[in-house]
Amino acid sequence: MNGFMVRRKPEKKRRPLFGVPKGIVLLTTREGWRHSVLTVEGGMLCGRLTDVPVNAGSVEARAAAASMVVGLARDFHEVRVDVSWDPPREPGSWTAQVTVASTLPNACG
């Protein structure tokens, strides 16, 4: 050993690309199922449920949207979330509330 110490630059905590989810809006269109995920920070992530067939029912689409949000919350924020769907107010449109249920244990110890 040569007696020199190596200094590392302090790691900057990177802000996750996806905010903590707080709600979902799900719409059925001619092109397929569309979603908007609203975040606590005021952001929104919109897109299409690509793994859900255009002619799929609302139960399958809601399950896929909820699964997507649960996975995003786990992967980006290490939290477990619960998704609760509201009764539909109009045909072809559903909304859900997303709440943080718990923080996941740190895998690194």
Residue with the two structure tokens 């997303």: 98
CB 65 within 8 A of CB 48: no
Q: What does each of the 109 residues of the chain score in pLDDT, given as a tens digit? A: 566 666 766 665 665 677 899 999 999 999 999 999 999 999 999 999 989 999 999 999 999 999 999 999 999 899 999 999 999 989 999 999 999 998 777 655 4
Where along the chain do its domains lie? 21-103
What are the beta bridge partners of residue 93? Answer: 27, 90
Alpha carbon of residue 28 to chain centroid = 19
Instruction: Report DSSP letters for 65-80, one per residue.
Output: HHHHHHHHHHHHH-EE
**Are the C-beta atoms of 76 and 82 separated by less than 8 Å?**
no
